[in-house]
Structure 1
Amino acid sequence: MELRQVKYFVAVAEELHFGRAANKIGIAQPALSQQIQQLEQELGGLLLNRTKRSVSLTMAGKLFLPEARSLLEKSKHAQDLVRRSFEGMVGDLKLGFVESATWDILPNVISAYRSQFPVVKITPRHLHTVHQIQAIRDGNIDIGIIGLPVNDPDLSVYVIRKEAYWIALHPDHCRADPESKIFVSDLSHESFIVTNREVGAAYYDTMVKICMNNGFSPSIVQTVDEIQTMLSLVSSGMGIAFIHESAKNLRNDIIYKPLHDTDQYAYQISLVWRKRESSPIIKGFLKEVRHLYL
């Protein structure tokens, strides 16, 4: 049984006239009659009573008609679903993100994407950059919002934003005066709170390099996994911290000041995904992000 035969039967059943049904679906009447006969032969009985003057449904035809309509509707739905999938309008998107993306980038890109692709199911996962890279390679996430530069021949990268270094200080710190500037060389006797190198190697190495280039090795008194914890310890007076600019929006009980005399970027937040990715969902997501962050 072919779908076109089902379609032809429904047309004849609705018109109860082979000529009108043939005109309606755009085929010759003899061809229509032949297809109906083949359908009846396959099903094992008559669906239509035919006389020279009229056409009517048999009992089997009356039973088959609603099922035939349902079959055609399901076929149309399946075709529409697949077509929308090819257009990236339906499906699943597994999205990794670093903590700093939650402050503005993550809500902005999800909102923009959902306005254009409201049916796509987004599954966000909070992962450090190194874990996102592995998850992308393993196929556990489709695309990631990461916080470190990546040099991998199998991955594509789109830079969303670069941020300069700032210093987070306790309000009672001697350099918390808003009128004074802070230079790297001023920090040689400070105690530093930094992120663990395992979760932020580029940040850690760049911070150490900046200090070494200015004649001193930083005195690290505490390492942490999250920037929230870092700022909390700064607030306690344990030490100071190198941060990227947008992190100054996280707490209002400490002082943030730009760091002068360095051209090193503290942070690079980017999208990363597998090269040669053909998913229309990922392509649609990338298009929306690029529109937001040209």
Structure 2
Amino acid sequence: MDTEQLITFEQVVREGSFSRAARTLNLSQPTMSTRIQALEEEIGGPLFVRGGRKVTLTERGESFLPYARRALEVLHEGREVAQLTQEGQRGRITIGTIESYSTGFLAATIANFHRSHPEVEIFVRTGHSNQIEHMLYDGVVKLGLISWPFLNPDLTEIVRFREPLVFVAPPGHPLTQQQTVTAEDIHLLARPLLIVHHSFILHDILARIYPHPERTMELPAQTACELLRQGVGAAFIARTVIARDLAAGHVVELQVRDIPASYLECALVRLARNQLAHTATNAFVTTLADQAGTMCIHPARNEK
């Protein structure tokens, strides 16, 4: 059974005539007969009642017709989806990311990408860098947003980002009484200091400021943001994660005189053995790099 046989069968039913169906399909009468006979042999009996001016279906033909039409509809939909996928308008993007990276520019990227590619499915999984590597190996995700630098030789860097960490506190917090603060000010007044998971790059400095763990809270980025909105604590946090709260006045950015500027670096990676042949995935990578703007320090490239 093939598509041409199903098309011929359905057209004969639609026209009610072998000759009219042959003209519509631009086929010779022998070709029409050959296709219908081959289909009837596979189905196991006649599909049409021969004779009379109008062709009618046998009971076998009537029972087979809805399935033939459904098969043709599915094939048509499949061709459309394949074409849209080739054009980058359909498909599936799977990405694993560290939880603290899932907000900020990644969330903004997904929103922008969805507006231009509404039919593309996007699945995001969160975990630590080593968990994301396992997701890549297991095929759960095709892309990973992990901490940089990474040591795994099986991973290929697609694009890298460098984002500044900022020190923030809620309005009215004692630290906000001055425009610049020192590590000593933070030690005395930022109780508790909210240590966001991605601020590990400040670990040594924070350990000197806060040698006593009971004066700190170690939290995911989203939890830290909510506590700051509630007026609790102060934190070093990635700028894009806290950008909306800064704009809304929920927190105030403070300059720290004696702590060097620090940056969060992450990389979008794939398994080296897997090429990004999917057009939608390449479009997503480009959108991610565009959204990151000046934070992008290793430009994205389309991969064939």
Question: Structure 2 length as normaliser, TM-score?
Answer: 0.67
Partner of 2:163: 162
Partner of 1:111: 111
Q: Distance in 2 between matches of 1:229 and 1:62?
A: 65
- Judge conservation of contact 2:46–2:58 (CA < 8 Å) in 1: no
User: Rg: which structure is higher?
Assistant: 1
Q: Distance in 1 between matches of 2:35 and 2:82?
A: 28
Amino acid at match of 1:172: P
Q: What's the CA shift string for 1:47-92, capped at 9, x where partnerless?
A: 33445x8452242444443443233223323444455555551446
Q: Distance in 1 between matches of 2:114 and 2:149?
A: 27
> Residues 41-120 of structure 1 correspond to what in structure 2 (within 5 A)?
41-50=41-50, 54-60=53-59, 61-84=61-84, 89-91=90-92, 93-99=94-100, 101-102=102-103, 104-120=104-120
- Judge conservation of contact 1:171–1:253 (CA < 8 Å) in 2: no
> Secondary structure, in 3 states, of the residue corresponding to 1:278?
coil
- Judge conservation of contact 1:91–1:121 (CA < 8 Å) in 2: yes
Amino acid at match of 2:289: R
How far 1:265 sits from its partner (Å)?
3.4
Partner of 1:287: 286
Change (3 A) 1:77 1:242: closer
- Judge conservation of contact 2:99–2:127 (CA < 8 Å) in 1: yes
How far 1:31 sits from its partner (Å)?
1.6
Q: Distance in 1 between matches of 2:144 and 2:78?
A: 31
State yes or no: 1:177 paired with 2:198: no
Q: Where do 5+ consecutive residues of structure 2 fail to align? A: 294-304
Q: Distance in 2 between matches of 1:156 and 1:121?
A: 23
- Judge conservation of contact 1:189–1:219 (CA < 8 Å) in 2: no
State yes or no: 1:268 paired with 2:265: yes
- Judge conservation of contact 1:9–1:36 (CA < 8 Å) in 2: yes
How far 1:45 sits from its partner (Å)?
3.1
> Secondary structure, in 3 states, of the residue corresponding to 1:33?
helix
- Judge conservation of contact 1:142–1:273 (CA < 8 Å) in 2: yes
How far 1:218 sits from its partner (Å)?
4.7
Q: Distance in 2 between matches of 1:78 and 1:231?
A: 45
- Judge conservation of contact 2:183–2:256 (CA < 8 Å) in 1: no
Amino acid at match of 1:70: R
Amino acid at match of 1:293: A
Partner of 1:278: 276
Amino acid at match of 1:75: L
> Secondary structure, in 3 states, of the residue corresponding to 1:125?
strand
Partner of 1:257: 254
How far 1:38 sits from its partner (Å)?
2.4
Q: 2:220 aligned to 200, 223, 226, which one?
A: 226
How far 1:168 sits from its partner (Å)?
5.6
Partner of 2:32: 32
- Judge conservation of contact 1:145–1:271 (CA < 8 Å) in 2: yes
How far 1:35 sits from its partner (Å)?
1.8
Q: Distance in 1 between matches of 2:237 and 2:112?
A: 28
Q: Distance in 2 between matches of 1:293 and 1:230?
A: 21
Q: CA RMSD of the aligned region, Å?
A: 4.2
> Secondary structure, in 3 states, of the residue corresponding to 1:155?
strand
Change (3 A) 1:219 1:59: closer
Q: What's the CA shift string for 1:149-195, capped at 9, x where partnerless?
A: 4454313242345215547699435x9512xx45xxx5369639574
- Judge conservation of contact 2:18–2:32 (CA < 8 Å) in 1: yes
Change (3 A) 1:144 1:167: same
Q: What's the CA shift string for 1:265-289, capped at 9, x where partnerless?
A: 3223543333434362533422332
Amino acid at match of 2:286: K
Q: Distance in 2 between matches of 1:44 and 1:243?
A: 71
Question: Structure 1 length as normaliser, TM-score?
Answer: 0.69
How far 1:34 sits from its partner (Å)?
1.9
Q: Distance in 1 between matches of 2:260 and 2:76?
A: 59
Change (3 A) 1:19 1:258: same
- Judge conservation of contact 2:164–2:238 (CA < 8 Å) in 1: yes
Moved more, 245-254 or 3-12: 245-254
- Aligned identity (percent) is 21
How far 1:225 sits from its partner (Å)?
3.9
Amino acid at match of 2:220: E
> Secondary structure, in 3 states, of the residue corresponding to 1:293?
helix
- Judge conservation of contact 2:184–2:209 (CA < 8 Å) in 1: yes
Change (3 A) 1:81 1:189: closer
